[in-house]
Each structure stands twice: as C-alpha cells, then as structure tokens.
A and B are shown apart, each in its own frame.
Chain A
C-alpha cells in the first residue's frame, strides 16, 4: 500500500539554526498537507500543497512540493523555542477520497 516516509525522526537544534524535514511517498500524490503537534497537544493543520513544484511560505516556514509530486519538505529558518513540536506530512492520492497517509513525523527540539 501507499507509504509516506519522513526523515529525520528527531532533530535537535540550537535556537537560531535552521531546520528541515523531508517527506517521500512511494506513489504520486494528489496533494500533501503539513501538520504541527505541540508536546501534549493535537495535530494542527499548517498548509496544503497541490501543484507540482509548488512553494509556499508562512513567515519563517517554507514548504515545497516536488516536481514529481512524490516528495515534500518543510524548512524553518532561524528556529525559535516556539517551533518545538512534531511536524507531520500527510499525503493523499487521487484514489483515496478523504484519506490521508501520515508520515511518522519529525520531532524538533530547540535549545535556547
């Protein structure tokens, strides 16, 4: 079945350093979503990418969708302690109406 792999599993950074998490799918995706889960909290939607090669920015966060629509990345510039949490990508293929396949997430810790 469809799989979504996400790396790294953990990332420890010093405040001010950059951070990137990568997501790869075994199949072509119709779209991909990114979620953030704070410690002890629930996943919160960040963004959805639909078009091949799409790049979207939210302040210090940059999201990319690969040309082949099989991979995606989230880059955070100059991390802050408020960025702490687990970041999940979730892919949807055209044949699974309403279903997302979540990656296992990248847990980010930021040392002040």
Chain B
C-alpha cells in the first residue's frame, strides 16, 4: 500500500494564480483532512471530509476550497493565491470514529511545499 500520497511535492506560484493540491489514500479511510503547517504554529486544520461528497470547514478555511468526489481523493484548491498561503500542506486520512475507537490515528502524506511570491 502506498498509504497517503500528495502531488505536487513543491510548487511556486505568483500572487493571484490558482492551483489544486491532490491527496490520495489507498487505505479505504472514510475521513480525510487538509492541514497547513507554519513555523511555530503547529498543524492547523483547513478543511476536512467525513465521507465521499461531504466537506466541512476547519480552523483556517478562508482562501481555500475542497472537493471529495471519490472516497480515495481529497482535493485542495487555491483560487487566488496570496503570499500568506506560503506554507507546507499536509493531507491526512483516518477511519471514522464509528468504526473502531482505537483506529482513529491519522495517517499523513509527505506534504506539499508551496511558495507564493
């Protein structure tokens, strides 16, 4: 199993450009998440999804949109990139809390480094 994969690994954007980050998981997890990690800020939840076709806002959703058309994929979109969105973006997935309480660990992808100039 590949686990959680993310593309691209690194990207440079100019202010105002758009892009989509792709996350894929092959563990049949119900839940998927997008986080951003900035120095000294830890991991902050952007958006999450508890199942195919459903998404919800996290702690810092502004400037981002997401879609979960297939269970295994979770897309993060930046419609008009801003320098404040320079960050490392991590996707994660987990089983649902209704499955097994001991299996609620999140599995993270390798991350996407985004630089917005």
Interface residue ranges, A against B (CB under 8 Å): 1, 6, 9, 31, 33, 35, 41-45, 48, 50, 88, 90, 92, 97-100, 102-105
Given the complex of chains A and B, what is the CA–CA distance between A58 and B49 in angstroms? Answer: 31
Q: How many chain B residues have a CB neighbour from A under 8 Å? A: 27
A48–B102 CB distance below 8 A: yes
Given the complex of chains A and B, what is the CA–CA distance between A25 and B12 in angstroms? Answer: 36
Given the complex of chains A and B, what is the CA–CA distance between A63 and B45 in angstroms? Answer: 24
Q: What mask results when residues 15 to 42 of chain B are scored 1 for a CB within 8 Å of chain A, else 0?
A: 0000000000000000100010000111
A interface: dominant SS: loop
Q: Which of B35, B96, B101, B110 contacts A98 (CB 8 A)?
A: B96
A45–B42 CB distance below 8 A: no
B97–A97 CB distance below 8 A: yes
